[in-house]
Amino acid sequence: MDRLDNTIRPYAWGSPTAIPQLLGVEPTGEPQAEMWMGAHPGAPSRTGRGTLVEVIDADPEKELGPAAVARFGPRLPFLLKLLAAGAPLSLQVHPDLGQAQQGYADEERRGIPVDAPHRNYKDANHKPELICALTAFDGLCGFRAPLEAAGLLDDLGVDSLKPYVDLLHAHPEDAALREVLTAILTADREEMSRTVEEAAAACTRLGGAYAPYADIAHHYPGDPGVIAAMLLNHVRLQPGEALYLGAGVPHAYLNGLGVEIMANSDNVLRCGLTPKHVDVPELLRIVRFHAADPGVLRPEAAPDGEEVYETPIDEFRLSRYVLPEAGTTHDLTRATPQILLCTAGTVRAGEHELTPGASVFVPAGEKAEVSGTGTLFRATVIA
């Protein structure tokens, strides 16, 4: 197995302290948003044999296993991250596989450069995600019931929000949500900015359930996404709890440290809380206007102490081992590729001693015995 040397991405929303604290190093003073573990071409992990992209390209079947290559092609189909949000991320959705393939082909046909700021589809893959909290973690996930959202907006006492409140009382519910989100994103920007300013002041005054939206407005003054965010469920995860973000589900991470895993894609359609391009017609085509409980996941016990976060897709499978004592060895050998990440204590994986933030790549079928006292996350695929 290969010890990984991973890139930390300094996005502006990142926490300056959360990842350094986990790694046991001094903060640099700059935001440290994500540490990437995998073979994403934008920042592949480095090994003693070259980058993980180079290692896999040299012999895909040996590194990934025949079943994974047959199912997903000669590439690692997931990206594992440490994610540290110190400020809200953009409000966004991801396409399903068919939508991604269609959108990518259309933009290729129209000759839109992949790096163009108005391009929606960077690749032809979908991007389901799972975030597992390492600390208390705040996020937004999926639509609230329209009547609940109407009550939240109405209690702000902002006159310019009354039309949205009225729309949210209409039926059917999915049409009501669509109309309101459309109205928010297509409203006159100056008028919406004034509305957001009034709403932010009311959120600050009211506190409680409104506190997350006051914080969002502080980071994104005047942004229509502040009002759109109030249509969504606010979720606070406790350590060990997780959220699965499927296609079309609007979401945003607000604050906290977690382990994130996703299909290897860059396809994002933004709804707000960002200076980046918002393609409203395409966004409305992708969003699933369905109100539902966000569905907090807790790990399910599996053999040999493994705790699995069950999801409906096969590009990734995330689980963890909480190892209580050093004398017990667990055999994690698997016919698919794995990345093992330590987040607490000290764990020995083969010849490697892993402390928090350290990770290894385990080729398919490679012997993988772990022991120690700590917490180990295991990322792999179902093939």
Catalytic residue among 3, 46, 144, 270: 270
The answer to whether the CB of 129 falls within 8 A of the CB of 81 is no
DSSP 8-state assignment for residue 204: H
Residue written as token pair 């764990």: 347
DSSP 8-state assignment for residue 136: -
Q: What is the C-alpha R_g of the chain?
A: 22
CA of 160: how far to CAs of 220, 261, 358, in Å?
A: 19, 40, 51
Q: What share of the chain is helix, strand, coil (3-state, %, to 5)?
A: 30, 30, 40
Residue written as token pair 């389901």: 128
Q: What would the two tokens of residue 288 be?
A: 């699933």
The answer to whether the CB of 121 falls within 8 A of the CB of 104 is yes
Catalytic residue flag (residue 270): yes
Alpha carbon distance 284, 132 (integer Å): 28
The answer to whether the CB of 34 falls within 8 A of the CB of 335 is no
Q: What would the two tokens of residue 63 be?
A: 């590194």
Alpha carbon distance 312, 315 (integer Å): 10
Active centre residues (catalytic): 270
